[in-house]
Amino acid sequence: MDKASVIASSYQFSPTAEQLVFCGAMASFLSRQLDRQCFILRGYAGTGKTTSVGALVKSLNRFALRSVLLAPTGRAAKVMSNYTGRKALTIHKKIYRKKSAVAVEMAFQLAPNLAEHTLFIVDEASMIADEWNTKTGSSFLKDLMEFVYNGKNCAVVFVGDTAQLPPVGSVDSPALNKDYLRDHFGLQVTAVELKEVVRQEKKSGILANATMLRRLINDAVVEEDKDGPLALPKFITKSYKDIFRMTGVKLVEGLEYAYNKFGIENSLVVCRSNKSANVYNQQIRARLLYREEELTGGDQIMVVKNNYFWLPENESAAFIANGDMAKISRVRGIEERYGLRFCEVNLEFMDFPEAGVITCKVMLDTLTAETPNLPY
């Protein structure tokens, strides 16, 4: 069985025509020496991009190759672990190490890449920036490239969607741009794009509207040199069961229905700002959950910074990611120190309940902060 057939046979379902093209392109890519080679897999929502990555990971051992799974954020790494069944790390965790183990300041340097015959598969690659950092004298994308290609017969596979989450302050995703990688890093780049929606996703209203937004984005890129207003999105909700229009008058009723049917953990309100999120949180707690305390048992909180350092490596919760959700079971010992308010809580992480109840100290000021990070 040739390489393309091995990858295709690793899909859970019969691959689409475009996925078969990916299998062929990847087979050709893997048949060459990996040094200075790069592969880009771009995929629209619902095209089976993650399924293709899962099939690739399953088949690599048949080709005497290893894989390292990476993502820009802790939450994305957790998602990648779930759909591949393999451990995934953040890019920062893998490619950097602390300059001095005893130093107080958090200064990092590029770690050595000891891997051989390895594919570094990077999900959500649209978020990777190539902006120069004056402190490090490098850029994130440059550091990643230097790390990967310092290994023996190693290469990187970038996976992502150009319509999602470009780097902050940028309108383009350099890691998903074939010409950019070739011109700036001297790589031979193979690129495949999936556009065909898989059968089980075709009746999704969420996907239909996402596709509509993608078309508008693509049209805006084509029309950017022409005068005239850009088309505004018009969301379609009729005839779909997974999306509907919610007015402010029915919001409380709609949220109550969602909480009862799907559970609080599966019901989210997407806001345009942290200030709006605070208002929604306060109103939902008061009018739907009837909770008057600032923090109480049953509340769900979100981790806002990756944690690599304080738990043993063999703990299932040793990697606590930015974006992880936890449920509070007990609150006690509220105190104020240095102008900040703290309390001790017992909590359980919702993504890995097998870790059991964890006791930790939390800063209450973060609950109502209107900035992405604390301003001090």
pLDDT band, residue 310 (cuts 50/70/90): low
Percent of the chain with pLDDT over 70: 87
DSSP reduced 3-state for 88: strand
Asked whether the beta carbons of 99 and 109 are under 8 A apart, the reply is yes
Place of tokens 């130093």: 103
Give, in degrees to the nearest 5, the angle at Cα 193 between 188 and 197: 165
Alpha helices in the chain (DSSP H): 3-9, 17-30, 49-59, 74-84, 91-95, 140-149, 178-185, 205-222, 251-262, 274-287
Domain boundaries, given as residue ranges, for the chain: 3-200, 203-242, 246-292, 293-376
Torsion angles phi and psi, residue 286, rounded to 5:
-80, -45
- The 10s digit of each residue's pLDDT in 170-186 is 778 899 999 999 999 99
Q: What is the pLDDT of residue 319?
A: 62
Worst-scoring range by mean pLDDT, 304-308, 310-314, 323-327, 342-346? Answer: 310-314
Nearest one of 250, 247, 245 to 234, comparing CA atoms: 245
Q: Is the pLDDT of residue 329 over 90?
A: yes
Token pair for 374: 């604390």
Span 92-120, mean pLDDT? 79
Q: Which residue has the higher pLDDT, 198 or 340?
A: 340
Full-model pTM: 0.78
Q: What is the pLDDT of residue 217?
A: 78
Nearest one of 28, 29, 17 to 157, comparing CA atoms: 29
Q: Which secondary structure element, helix H or strand E, spans residue 42, and what is its range?
A: strand 37-43
Q: Is the pLDDT of residue 317 over 60?
A: no
Span 95-119, mean pLDDT? 78
- The 10s digit of each residue's pLDDT in 284-294 is 999 999 998 88
Q: What is the pLDDT of residue 142?
A: 94
- The 10s digit of each residue's pLDDT in 16-64 is 999 999 999 999 999 999 989 999 999 888 888 999 999 999 999 999 9
Q: What's the count of helices (H) and strands (E) in the chain, helices before strands?
A: 10, 12
Q: What is the pLDDT of residue 18?
A: 95
Worst-scoring range by mean pLDDT, 62-66, 79-83, 105-109? Answer: 105-109
SS3 per-residue string spanning 91-150: HHHHHEEECCCCCCCCCEEECCCCCEEEEEEECCHHHCCCCCECCCCECHHHHHHHHHHC
Query: Spelled out in words, what is the top-level CATH class assigned to the domain 3-200?
Result: alpha beta
Q: Is the pLDDT of residue 114 over 60?
A: yes
Report the amino acid identity of residue 257.
Answer: Y
Quick count: other Cβ atoms within 10 Å of Cβ 67?
21
Q: Please name the residues in contact with 250: beta carbons below 8 A apart, sequence gap of 6 or more.
A: none
Span 133-143, mean pLDDT? 76
Q: Please name the residues in contact with 371: beta carbons below 8 A apart, sequence gap of 6 or more.
A: 274
Q: Kindly report the average pLDDT of the chain as a whole number.
A: 86
Span 273-278, mean pLDDT? 90
pLDDT band, residue 325 (cuts 50/70/90): confident
Quick count: other Cβ atoms within 10 Å of Cβ 79?
19
